[in-house]
Amino acid sequence: MSDSVYLSAPALVSAMGSGLQNHINALLHPGGDSPLTFSDQWVKGKRYAFGAVGETLRPFPKSLPEAFRSRNNQLLWHALAQIEPQIEYAVSRFGAERIGVVIGTSTSGVDENIGMFEHIAQGGDWQSVSFKQAQQLMYAPAEFVAEMYGLKNLNYVVSTACTSGARALISAARLLRAGLCDAVVCGGVDTLSPLTINGFASLEVLSSGLATPFSANRNGINIGEGAAVFVMTREAVFEDSLPLLGYGSSSDAYHMSSPRPDGLGAIKAFQTALKHASIDAHDIGWINLHGTGTLHNDSMESIAVAEVFGADTPCTSTKPYTGHTLGAAGAVEAAFLWGMVSRHVNPEGKLPPQSWDSVRDQALPEIGLTDENSCWPQQRRVGASSSFAFGGSNAVLIIGESV
């Protein structure tokens, strides 16, 4: 399409470490040990695997107001260090008044009040504890980014559960296309939280081991944390920019927490993204699947992918490497797609192998899950990343090389 927008190389932090190149290398050449770790600290009496960020996070400036001090913002701050030169260049080129911020999250800084919640749950009184309202406000991550870099245009958060990160990129693209901004700092961040973890535990969708998406033996998800951030522009102002060729979203509102079984909403999102990018399904050389490892998601997604792309398009769920990073997942996996498309980051054109037990679920339509020998099937690299969320929220991003 003629009105493509462009994505800088992304900042990226997850259980796999920091930096795009490190992540791509690990995805293409997985070792024997999973980046995920088992812990019994989150769900009483249970031990599950989590994608926890283990490295020490970049400290906040001493002058930062208390209202911005949350672990969620600190994880975002840690990632932002990787693209500060791009942000600073955008400010010098366009001016702070022309740069917006759109961040996806599902947790924000709610964990800063866990102590208060526990105190009240144990019969304590409200007057004896402080309520850190500012830290848990949903818009806090976007306002934090604007504050740290002096950005004066719109800043807001998108919170649509597990499509938040993807929809933040879509929203940023719309700001650019509407002429409201010349650049947008956009992405997603979520941190491990006992509130969300125990919520998923109550739904009985946490895997008893390491998740195996699309396997006949799959029994749930592993939850992770992470952050991924881009600078999006209308022009290719950065040497290594790649175009966001298209995007599609839909809301089927089938159920509060279960995907529509026939995949109709997901199919609509894929088809809308392809139409927006002015390409056909056969032009897609790789799909980064949502692939959570639950019975219902993987069934629905297999139906959708088979309907739109058939059985031959290479596709991978990368969540076994990071855990499901929830509100950050759409941005984290868009960063993976960006890295796989980039000839600088991925010069050999390999694709990441599916991490699973290789036991296909015969009840699912066949899709082209990758193995150790998979690579980009076409000269032009164009791929898609799919995200699906509670409430029937569906989003697809298409990133690829220009014609």
- Catalytic residue chosen out of the listed positions 23, 78, 276, 324: 324
The dihedral sign for the CA sequence 393, 332, 343, 316: negative
Q: How many residues does the chain have?
A: 403
Q: How far apart are CA 35 and CA 250, in angstroms?
A: 32
Residue 375 designated active-site: no
Q: Determine the pLDDT at residue 58.
A: 98
Q: How far apart are CA 24 and CA 21, in angstroms?
A: 5
Which of 314, 277, 276, 271 shows the shortest CA–CA distance to 401?
277
Q: Determine the pLDDT at residue 198.
A: 96
Residue 315 designated active-site: no
The dihedral sign for the CA sequence 173, 8, 91, 65: positive
Quick one: tokens of 255? Answer: 């159920």
Q: How far apart are CA 319 and CA 338, in angstroms?
A: 16
Is residue 75 within 8 A of residue 12, CB to CB? The reply is no
Domain ranges of the chain: 5-400
Q: Determine the pLDDT at residue 127.
A: 80
Q: Determine the pLDDT at residue 136.
A: 82
Q: How far apart are CA 147 and CA 186, in angstroms?
A: 15
Q: Determine the pLDDT at residue 117.
A: 84
Q: Determine the pLDDT at residue 1.
A: 41
Stretches in the chain below the pLDDT threshold 50:
1-2
Q: How far apart are CA 49 and CA 206, in angstroms?
A: 9
* 103-131 confidence digits (pLDDT tens): 999 999 888 888 888 888 888 888 888 88
Is residue 396 within 8 A of residue 272, CB to CB? The reply is yes
Which of 386, 156, 389 shows the shortest CA–CA distance to 251?
389
- Catalytic residue chosen out of the listed positions 162, 181, 186, 315: 162
Helix (H) or strand (E) holding 78: helix 71-80
For domain 5-400, the CATH architecture is 3-Layer(aba) Sandwich (3.40)
pTM over 0.85: yes
Residue 324 designated active-site: yes
Q: How far apart are CA 83 and CA 394, in angstroms?
A: 28
Is residue 208 within 8 A of residue 257, CB to CB? The reply is no
- Catalytic residue chosen out of the listed positions 23, 78, 276, 290: 290
